[in-house]
Structure 1
Amino acid sequence: MPNPITILLAEDEPALGLIIKESLETRNFKVLLCENGEKAFEIYKSHSPELLVLDVMMPKKDGFTLAKEIRVIDDAIPIIFLTAKSQTQDVVEGFTIGGNDYLKKPFSMEELIVRINNLLHRTKVQKTTDILSIGAYAFNFPKQTLRYKNEDLQQLTHREAHLLFHLIKNKNQVLDRSLILNKLWGNDDFFSARSMDVFITKLRKKLSKDANLQILNVRGFGYKLIC
C-alpha cells in the first residue's frame, strides 16, 4: 500500500474538524488537524503536507491570510477553502489569493473527498511536466534549475524560480505587475516593486545566451516574456 497523502486541515469548530479528519482517514489520508491559522502555519512549515483544507473564519489568523503567506513560499500546493460565507466577492477573493477550490458549509464529505482527489490528480499530472522549455533553455521549476543547451545547471533562488515560472506560463502576454507582486512579495508597495525589478534584471542576465528571449518592461502594466 502506498504512503498516505498528508492533508493539513485547519478548522476551528472542534466537532466538524474531528468529523472531517476521521472521514478522510477512512480513505487512507493522513490528516494534521489544527484549530487556528497560526498553528496551521507552523504545522505547514514543519510537516510539508501535500494539500491544504482551510476554514476561512479562524481565530488568530484567518484562512485567507494563511493562504497568502503560504503562497509566498509555495505556489503549487493545492488549497481548498471551507466557509459559511456565500457572497460572490468572498469566493472571488479566495481564488484571487491562490485557492484552487471553494466549498461552502454545510457540505457532504463525499463532495469534499471528490474535490480533494480531483486536485491531487491535477497536481500529479502537472508534476509529469516539471521541465519547461524556454527557447534554448530547460527550466526545472521544482528543482529551481536552469540549463542552457548542454551547459552546466544554473541554480535559481526561490523567487527567481517562481517569477520565471509565471513569466513562462504567460509568455508573449503581459504579466500584471501588481498581481505578481502580491502573489510573490505579499504586497505591491514601492520597495517590493524595486526588489522585483532587481530579480527581473537577474533573470535577463541568466537568459541572455538565447538572443530570441527577451523580458520586456511594459511601462505601467508589468512584464512580458518574448519567446
Structure 2
Amino acid sequence: MTRILLVDDDKDIRQLLTLYLQNEGYNIIEAENGEEAIEMMNKHHPDIVLLDVMMPKKDGFTIVQEIRQSGNAVPVLMLTARQEDMDLIQGLTYGADDYIKKPFNPLEVIARVKAMLRRVNQFQLSQSSEARLIGPFELREDERLILKENEPLALTKREFDLLSLLLTQAKRVFTAEELYEKIWQEDALGSSSNAVMVLIHKLREKVEETPKSPRYIQTVWGVGYKLEP
C-alpha cells in the first residue's frame, strides 16, 4: 500500500486530507510539526510527502532541504498559504516537486498525488529494463541476474529478491519485519526475524569476502540491515 506522509500543523486540514486519501486506498502517516516530520520520514519511509510550509519547530523549506541532503528522492508536494512567487520558487529550488496553494480542493490534491506517483512508477519501470551499477555489483532485473565484479552470483529466488532490494535502495536501513514482508510476501510473524537472519547469513556467504566481517551487507544493531556499496 502506498504510504503518504502528511505534514501540517492544522489538525482540520490533516483530518480532511486523510479522509479523502484513505478513500483512495492510501496509507496515511501524520505529523504536526517539522521535527515530527523528520522522525516519521526515518521511521516509515513514505512513498510521497505532503508538506506544509509554515509550521512550528521546522518549516517546510528546511524539511525539504534535509530530505534532499540525505539523498532521499521521495516526491514532495508542498502545501502553502504563501502566495508570493519567490516563496514558491524557493520551495522548488530546495527540492520540492510541486506545490499547491491553500485553500485547495482536496480532489485537486488527490489528482496531484496520483500524477506524481504515476511519474515515479514510469521512471522506475524505465530504469528496471536497464542494468544498474551499484558499487561492485551489476543488477540486471529483467534477467534476474546480479554480478559482482563481473562474475555472476549463484542466488536462490529469495536471495536474489533480497539482494536486489538492498541494492536498489542502498544505504537504507530495513527492519527484519520489513524485509520479511517484502521477500516472503506475507505478514511478519514471531519467527520472521530468524528467517531473515538465516537468509542474510546465506547471502553473505555468497557476497562477502569475509562473511563474519561483512563489507557490504551490514547489520545496524537494534534496527535491521542495509547494503553499503
By the TM > 0.5 criterion, same fold?
Answer: yes
Q: Percent identity?
A: 34
Partner of 1:29: 26
Whether 1:50 aligns to 2:47 is yes
Unmatched segments (≥5 aa) in structure 1? 160-227
Contact 1:132 1:139 in 2 (8 A): no
Of the three residues 32, 36, 39, the one matched with 2:36 is 39
- Going from structure 1 to structure 2, the CA distance change for 1:50 and 1:145 (only over 3 Å counts) comes to farther
Whether 1:139 aligns to 2:115 is no
Of the structure 1 ranges 46-55 and 16-25, higher mean CA displacement relative to structure 2 is found in 16-25
Matched residue SS, 1:77: coil
Greater relative contact order (CA < 8 Å, ≥ 6 in sequence): 1
Query: Cα distance, 1:64 vs. partner?
Result: 0.9
Q: Note the 1:121-160 alignment, pairs <5 A.
A: 121-130=118-127, 138-140=131-133, 147=138, 151-152=150-151
Kindly report the root-mean-square deviation, in angstroms, between the aligned alpha carbons of the 2 structures.
Answer: 2.8
Cα distance in structure 2, aligned partners of 1:145 and 1:11: 42
Cα distance in structure 1, aligned partners of 2:91 and 2:56: 18
- Going from structure 1 to structure 2, the CA distance change for 1:144 and 1:105 (only over 3 Å counts) comes to farther
Unmatched segments (≥5 aa) in structure 2? 139-146, 153-166, 172-229
Query: Cα distance, 1:76 vs. partner?
Result: 2.1
Cα distance in structure 2, aligned partners of 1:144 and 1:18: 44
TM-score w.r.t. length of structure 2: 0.58
Cα distance in structure 1, aligned partners of 2:47 and 2:148: 33
Query: Cα distance, 1:156 vs. partner?
Result: 11
Cα distance in structure 2, aligned partners of 1:120 and 1:83: 20
Contact 2:77 2:98 in 1 (8 A): yes
1:131-159 alpha-carbon deviations (Å, 9 max, x no partner): 697xxxx534xx66654998149x89979
Q: Note the 1:5-84 alignment, pairs <5 A.
A: 5-84=2-81
- Going from structure 1 to structure 2, the CA distance change for 1:145 and 1:13 (only over 3 Å counts) comes to farther
Contact 2:77 2:100 in 1 (8 A): yes
Q: Which residue identity is paired with 1:30? A: N
- Going from structure 1 to structure 2, the CA distance change for 1:59 and 1:145 (only over 3 Å counts) comes to farther
